[in-house]
């Protein structure tokens, strides 16, 4: 990945240090396809004369199903559920049949023509297959497997070069707006500590490779210390939050992380500490797990908030 000579603390966007999240359109980071769009308020909806934003969902786990239900119920003014994809298409059809709207059930390879935007809710290994066709078509992709972006930096380059857009929602972490703002100056350090119930970490590649047992713990155990890049590689389904944090700030090799398997907590607890030339701040968030203990319930809500914000004519937050 290229460096940013204008702002070395921001590894994401070497061409536009003002807006690290959307290198395609620095004026409007929320809706790069139509920067003048004014579909709805962020807190109230109004009828729109624009064509609805057709949304595809790739992956129907706990997060994907939650987002699909919200879209089907009209929870995103100006957006419609156009299509879904999942590993088991028969089960996907059964799920779609329970919704009050009709959506196409398609293989991943056939999603792009059906939608303007895809929400990726699948295993990180599938990220290039899911978002690549949308980027090549100059469309948008919401990425939840943020850790997979660290091992596929060419996707960021592809978005920049071909005119598509990658959108990373805040997800399960507090404070990304503050980190993005701090990155306009100089960030000295970013540290994150995650505590999860042991069953939310079981089976992670790092634990398997290092023969670390978390079953039966009676007290907290630190199971990992290292960089954000190493954490994303070792815990691909557990700590996408640190990947997002690193991309918002000083990069995956300077952002440090600790992971604790903690039988005394019932929520996924993320604490971050940032020291910069503009502010020093510490923040902690305790997320209620979703039906999948590896991820928080708020992740789906964060995606819905992002989708609503794309169609809003009043937006709060960086």
281 φ, ψ to 5°? -145, 150
Which residues contact residue 244 at a Cβ distance below 8 angstroms, ignoring those fewer than 6 apart? 146, 168, 170, 171, 173, 176
Decide if 188 is catalytic.
no
Beta strands across the sheet bearing 53-58: 104-105, 79-85, 53-58, 117-120, 140-143, 165-167
CB 275 within 8 A of CB 187: yes
Q: Give strand pairing partners of 285.
A: 270
The phi-psi region of residue 17 (left if phi > 0; otherwise alpha if psi is between -120 and 50; otherwise beta) is: alpha
Other beta carbons within 10 Å of 275 = 15
Catalytic residue among 65, 139, 196, 270: 270
Q: How far apart are CA 164 and CA 199, in angstroms?
A: 37
Query: Could you please report the per-residue DSSP string of 222-270?
Result: EEEEEEHHHHHHH-TTT-HHHHHHHHHTT-TTT-EEEEEE-TT-SSEEE
Enzyme catalytic residues: 270
């Amino acid at each position: 990945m290229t460096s940013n000579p204008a702002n070395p603390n921001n590894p994401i966007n070497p061409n536009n240090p003002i807006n690290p999240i959307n290198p395609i359109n620095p004026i409007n980071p929320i809706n790069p396809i139509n920067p003048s769009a004014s579909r709805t308020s962020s807190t109230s909806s109004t009828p729109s004369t624009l064509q609805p934003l057709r949304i595809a969902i790739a992956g129907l786990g706990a997060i994907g199903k939650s987002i699909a239900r919200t879209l089907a119920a009209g929870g995103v003014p100006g957006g419609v559920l156009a299509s879904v994809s999942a590993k088991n298409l028969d089960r996907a059809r059964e799920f779609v049949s329970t919704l009050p709207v009709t959506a196409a059930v398609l293989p991943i390879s056939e999603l792009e023509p059906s939608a303007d935007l895809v929400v990726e809710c699948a295993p990180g290994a599938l990220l290039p297959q899911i978002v690549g066709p949308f980027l090549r078509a100059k469309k948008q992709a919401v990425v939840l497997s943020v850790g997979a972006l660290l091992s596929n930096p060419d996707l960021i380059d592809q978005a920049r070069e071909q005119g598509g857009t990658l959108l990373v929602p805040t997800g399960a972490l507090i404070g990304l707006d503050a980190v993005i703002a701090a990155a306009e100056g100089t960030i000295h350090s970013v540290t994150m500590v995650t505590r999860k119930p042991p069953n939310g970490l079981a089976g992670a590649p790092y634990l398997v490779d290092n023969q670390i047992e978390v079953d039966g713990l009676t007290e907290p155990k630190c199971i990992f210390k290292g960089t954000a890049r190493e954490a994303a590689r070792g815990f691909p389904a557990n700590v996408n939050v640190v990947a997002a944090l690193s991309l918002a700030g000083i990069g995956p090799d300077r952002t440090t992380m600790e992971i604790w398997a903690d039988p005394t907590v019932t929520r996924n607890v993320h604490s971050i500490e940032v020291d910069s030339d503009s502010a020093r701040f510490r923040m902690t968030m305790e997320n209620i797990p979703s039906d999948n203990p590896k991820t928080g319930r708020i992740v789906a809500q964060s995606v819905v908030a992002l989708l609503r914000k794309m169609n809003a004519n009043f937006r709060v937050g960086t």
